[in-house]
Every structure is written in C-alpha cells, then in structure tokens.
Structure 1
C-alpha cells in the first residue's frame, strides 16, 4: 500500500471536544447529581468510547487481498474484475465502501451496488461477517487493445452508525492485470504467399549453411579463413575448403517500426500496424510456421525481440507483447532498431516489414515483403546481402 491513512470525525465526537466536556460533566455531577444531563453525558462518553474502539479494532483486522492475477481477452469480449477483501476480526464489518478508477476502455456493466461517480471513478458498498473473506466480481466489456489495472483503489471503513470513517491508504494500482489483445486486421495478399515446407530442412542449394555439419571438402574458392580444411589441404598439396550441408529455414521474421518518419514521436497508424502484425502472427500459427517478432520499443535488454518459436503458446506471447505497447513505452529510432534487427534476425527467414518505407528497408538476399499502410503486402526483389 501507499498513500496515507485519513480519519474523518464529526466535530462533536472529536477527542478534544470530548475532553472539553469533562469539566462541565463533573460540575453537573457534583452540583446537580440528579440531573438528566449527567446520564446524557455518560451515554455520550460510552458511545464515543464504543465507536472509537470498534473502528480501531476493525481496521487492525481488515485487509485488501492484492494477489497478482491476469485476465486475457479480445476487444468486445466480457471479463471480470475481482476484488477480494478479508475481515479477520471477531466482529462484523458493517459499513464499508470501496472507490476505484478504471480506464474508459473498460466499460463497466451495471451491477447491484456499483455506482458510477464519473467517467473513470466507481464505488460499491460492502459489509462482511466476522472472520470472513469475500470476493466482489465486477463485469466489464473491453473496447480496445491494451493492458489495464484497477487504479487508485481506496477502502473506507466506518462504525455501525457511520460516524467515524477511516480512509485506508490508497493502493496506486492493484496487481490484477486485464490484458486486451489486439484485433487481427487482414493483410491483403498474405494468404497467397506460398510456404514450400514448414520448419527447417536440408536442401541442395542455399545461401546459408550449417557449419556444424561438414559433408566433405572442395577446392578453396575464397571462402572465409575458418572454412579452410587444413588436414585436407596438407594431404592434397592445395588449399581445400570445408563443404557444409546447405540449410534453408522456412520461418518468418516480423519487424514492426512504430517511430514516425519525421524522427520524433509515434506513427499515427500504430493501431493498424499492430493489428496487421497480429494477423501475420495468426496466419503463421495456423500454418505452423515458426516466427520471430521485432518491435521498435525498448525492453529490459534492448529492442523488444520475441525469439523464433511456433505454436499457440508462442502466438499468445506475441499477442501479449503487442497488447503491452503503449505511450509509456520507450520508442527507438528507426535506424538503430533496423540495425539491431539485421544483426539478430534469423538469417534465412522470410522477412515482413511494417511501418518502414520501401526506401528504408535494409538490403538482404532473404525473401522480403513490405506491408503498406493500407494493409497490402508487396514482395521486394532480393538485394545484395548485408551480413
């Protein structure tokens, strides 16, 4: 928890007022012992003592269960926010109320007791039996992509007569996360891209080789120094090179650049680009094609890079990374991002560029496609490889 505890007490029951009444009560007790005022003041003191002790006792035994949990869904789907409160006291908690903020992208559904105070502020009353834990489920409809949390969560507990109210420290954000995946947006022409074989396999010719698999030797033809087969060269009295087994990897590399062409700020159509990327990941998963994902935002150890993998779990990871892109993300310059991507990419995959103009796409001998802002895919000619 963070923030500060706040207690609101009416003037009549504030401690200094109670103390000020003591001399007056004593005066009536000694000089007018039969006066009804004495009994009234006695009731006043007992009542004040009760509400103070009750609130303090309940507060010490009340807690908000703030466990980490995640809800995953797509836009226009319904989900639930769960708020868990625990009363460990031997007395029931009679008067309680919770206040919280949610992003306007989550449309709260009408519920018994749920009150909308403003566009983002909601509240609901609660009461709890002694030694009990209750869960309040709040239904909502997600309207757009993103990762959302319950924010500025505050509980107010009071005595049975609601005279004293204790505002517990505000929790800036509950640990519950609502992850709303992006909606796939069709990329025209993607279905026509033929994938000759799924996964990796050996081939008679390729620009790429498996250097761990030596199948023979051949005449040296200006290969790299490490390719020289020294034993064979000594035996044949001429330079011989290692002959590696050719490999071609039918995977996809998806590269999304979200930086504006002006060099400052985000592109205006980032939601379209994210939706196009989601569709490409979806098609790759349906075809059982391994894919890797590069996004031009800063992660813990550099630009965001989802390593090459395949299957529904990998697709879910890609969806979550795309959902987490927000204005709070650190955007990377296009040139630095593309340079990193070219160094880390799988060297023999089919490449898809989103948010990059044709003139700025690095030259490569890999099959390369550009997804235009209109959602149309175009194949580029093979260029000289930059390695």
Structure 2
C-alpha cells in the first residue's frame, strides 16, 4: 500500500561520529561517556526503526465511491485512515488531484493540471481518522486523486519518512456538463408501431387499454370488454393507446480534420440539453461520439435506452470527453451504426458533417430515420442535403 523512502539528513555522519566516540571512550575506560554515546546511538536506531515501521501500521481505506455534481457545486474528498500501534506526530499530508476541481478554505498550488494541497496530519495508536478536504467544482470532467503522500519526521534527529500511496485511489468526482439550450422541434415519429403515446398514430398498443366505447359493426370480437359490457348491459369495445416509434440517436462530431474542435464545450453542453430533454419527454435515445474507445466498441457509444439510469450514463459519458483522446472517423462510426437494426425516428448531429458521410446519411433516410443537425443553437432538418 505504501512506498517508503527515508531521508537521512545528517543522520549517517552523526551516527559515525558517535560510534567513533563510543569506541574511544571504551578504550579510555570512560564508561559514563560510553553509556551516553550508546544511549544516543540507541535513539538513532529507534528513530530509524520508527520511520521504517510506520507503513506497516497505517492503512488507507480504499473503497470505490463516485460523487456526481455540476460545475459550481461544492463537495469534498474524504480519506479514511486506520492506524495500528505506532503514532504519527507532526506529519504532513499532501494530496494532488485533477484541477477541474479546487480546494476551498485552504491554500493550494496548480502544476501540470493538478491541484495540490498540504495539511497537517497526526494520528494516535489504534485510532481511525477521517480527513475531509472541501472542494468546489470548476468545470466539466472526471477528477481523481493522483497522489497521496505523507511526510513524517522522526521522533529524534533530522531524518524524515516519505510514504507514497502506490495504489489507484478509487474515489472519483464526476462533474457533469452544464446545459446549453437548443431550439427547434426534433421530435419525429416513425409510421410504425412503438411504445410512445401519439394521438395521431395509425397504430395502437393492444396491451394498453385506456377506456371503452359502444360496440360498432366491424369491431373485433377479441376487443370486446366483457366486464364493461356486463356493467352497462351493452356491448363495449376496448379503446387502446395509440402509439408510435419515437427515439433519437444523438451524434457528436468533435473532430475537425485531425484535432478536437474549438467549440467542444459548447457542443457538449448542447448534447447535455438534448439528453435531459429526451429524459423529460420519456424519449429513448443513444449517444455516439467519434473518439476512440478501448472497450467493446472502437468509439464512444451509449446504446439505446431511457430513464434516469440512461441519463446518468449519458452525462457521465459527456463528462469524461477529453481533448487528449484519439479521433475516430465520423463516417466510419455512422456506417457501423447503420448496420444495426435501429428502431429510431431521428438522428441529431452536433458538429460539422463531412462530405464522405453523405452516403451513410442516405442509408439512414431509407430506413425512415429523419436526419437533423444542430446549427448555432437551433436544430434544423437536413433531409434535402442528401436527397439525390
């Protein structure tokens, strides 16, 4: 858990001097001085033993914990220590973490995109201690603690032990993006049966009965509502919920030639707004970003889904997009998605559409999927762009 380095200071030379004096005192029969020198040597060795043993006594509890917040909100890092028999006095705890969050109420420095803070640290034998560092979120991103280091002075002498935590600390803070409003109506229904209520739909869901009406000639025998018929003494027919297919593919093209686009943050905030809109209107959606991923898919992909869990996954995905990621060809990503059997009504593209993606967009259109593009702060249909 701990990598330990001992900084001797003047210890080695002082110890050699005391050993020489002790030998001289022995041969000169100065036993009182010999005892004093031996006592000092004992203190030195106890000091070294103390510094070398601390890492065996101190444990940092490392449990997985994710904190989800928005920019401008306040939260805290919490580090829990469990100590054994060896006390620590006048120690110093240094923590470095991603600078998209910053400490509050204490001084800190920023180096290489890492915020670093140092605070006093002391713990008694058999004590459990929790260290809390209040922080404020500054901007979107994933923040982790990258360094945990303890500097512990010896009980005697000038030597110091440096304990460096050599595991990945599992606590993380996910800062969701802000939302930038997008105007325009992107709701589009496919003329197929689905699960989204739509009074204008030509299709009904036989599993969702919303009422009854008087029986009419031509109504199916299987649609008669027998309980309502018995209650009214007249034949009653079930009325089913009219439904249609309504779902989105939200696509981000974050690459301009070979680098990340300059308006990346604005694009992510607009995508966050669309994600939240889909959640509020109970519209299933998937999310694609043309950055290379090292998982099962070669690019960032959130499969089609809906509900609070889907929104959380989407916001987390938008939060971790980094300018340091490798690009993935936009047209190749769309082509790969088109091969899947999508039952969606609309594809919403944020960013520029390269010319080599035109043919793939036509394939989506042949499936009845309406392509749209966010221009400025407005969603516009782009059907004409690809019609040959």
Task: Assess same fold via TM > 0.5.
Answer: yes
Residue matched to 2:269 = 275
Q: CA deviation at 1:164?
A: 2.6
Compute the RMSD of aligned alpha carbons: 3.1
**TM-score using structure 2 length:** 0.77
Distance 1:10 1:253 in 2: 63
The answer on 1:159 being equivalent to 2:154 is yes
- Structure 1 residues 383 and 328: alpha-carbon distance in aligned structure 2, compared to 1, 3 A threshold: closer
Q: Cα gap change, 1:8/1:316 in structure 2, threshold over 3 Å: closer, same or farther?
A: same
Which residue matches 1:137?
132
SS in 2 for 1:148: strand
Q: 1:66 to 1:162 in 2, by over 3 A?
A: farther
How far is 1:110 from its partner? 1.1
Task: Describe the superposition over 1:156-177 as per-residue Cα deviations: whole angstroms up to 9, x where unpaired.
Answer: 2333347331112354752211
Counterparts of 1:147 and 1:69, CA distance in 2: 13
Q: Which residue is 2:22 aligned to? A: 25
1:1-387 counterparts in 2 under 5 A? 5-11=4-10, 13-14=11-12, 17-19=14-16, 21-33=18-30, 37-89=33-85, 91-111=86-106, 115-118=107-110, 120-161=115-156, 163-171=158-166, 173-190=168-185, 193=187, 199-200=195-196, 204=202, 248-260=244-256, 262=257, 264-299=258-293, 300-302=295-297, 303-344=299-340, 346-357=342-353, 360-361=357-358, 362-363=361-362, 364=365, 365-372=368-375, 374-381=376-383
Q: Which moved more, 1:308-317 or 1:49-58?
A: 49-58
The structure 1 segments of at least 4 consecutive aligned residues displaced by more than 6 Å after TM superposition are 194-198, 382-386
Runs of 5+ in structure 1 lacking a partner? Answer: 206-246
Classify 1:62/1:348 alpha carbon distance in 2 versus 1 (closer, same or farther; 3 Å): closer
Question: The residue matched to 2:59 in structure 1 has which SS?
Answer: strand
5+ residue gaps in structure 2? 204-242
TM-score w.r.t. the length of structure 1 is 0.77
